[in-house]
Amino acid sequence: MIPTVLITGRDGQLGFELRRALATLGSIVVVDKDNVDFCDLNAVRQLVRHTHPDVIVNAAAYTAVDRAETEHGLAQIVNGYVPGIMAEELRRLGGKLIVHYSTDYVFDGAAEQPYTEDDATKPLNCYGKSKLAGECAIQQAGIPYVVLRTEWLYATRGTNFLLTILRLARDGKPLRIIADQIGSPTWARMLADASARVITHFLTTSISDATTWSGVYHLTAAGQTTWHGFTEAILKESLERLKQLGRPLEWCEAALASLTPISTSEYPSPARRPAYSVLSNEKIARVFGIRLPDWHHQLHMALEDFTF
């Protein structure tokens, strides 16, 4: 029997990649906010009941980190309540698995070595609190689940740090970038491809094993850098790509020359960010045999796929 896979967040940077990566796994149903109001819990229930999926892959989320400080109720509904509603409905329908994406922001950033899944959570902002609530809701629903915590996600479409830097560089804006926050930039395509491997694993296993393998997993690029280091790499990789394509280089060279490291305190924002966000990927490597490439290699591949 061909499984039905419901993907939420269709047009987001991750949702787009999931549509490609999961296309061969079964009958794919993709929805976004244009199809369902994720602030309406009853509408979410009806979505699951109508679709009757075997697997839910929930990439829909409230992602406006700073705005969540004033819209915390809205963030809590979309990030905290909706994942649990989906999981509960899937269990009632006899579904097999829910995959949900969470964040490094469930930690406070005070660590000095990569966070494991067993480390205590302590979110600093409302966004992180809402995402942690979503994790807990899924865990309590009583169905096999995989929560994938990732970080510093980017893609060659949508709205993200990579595209913002390239836009600012093209516009000739000086780049003053935070150099005291550390994390692992992760390409959405890599996350989607790894998600497909996890889902395939569950679809080909017994229910008892699926329950055993349920849990929270960290899944990020290998290695670490700062936002400033990521920006520098974006510009240098872009410069090399422009040379290969025979395109004008001046805007990129000027952006590199303007790049200046600053501290978090020099760029205040409504929501506090963790200073150290590196996540350990050892658990998912041990259980599923998944290891993503180094962040710099991922960036190189992403920009090869980018239309300058």
Distances 308 to 105, 246, 300 between C-alpha atoms, Å? 32, 11, 14
b/e burial code for range 280-297 (CB count within 10 A of at least 16 → b): bbebbeeebebebeebbe
Rounded to the nearest angstrom, the gap between the alpha carbon of residue 94 and the centroid of all alpha carbons in its chain is 27
Catalytic residue among 81, 101, 127, 145: 127
- Token pair recorded at residue 202: 């569950």
- Whole-number Å distance between alpha carbons of 172 and 252: 9
Torsion of CA 105, 108, 112, 113, to 10 degrees: -40
100 Cβ contact partners less than 8 Å away, ≥ 6 residues apart: 58, 83, 134, 135, 138, 145, 146, 147, 148
Q: Is 267 among the residues known to form the active site?
A: no
Q: Do the beta carbons of residue 140 and residue 186 sit within 8 Å?
A: no
The three-class DSSP label of residue 231 is helix
Give me the active site residues, please. 127
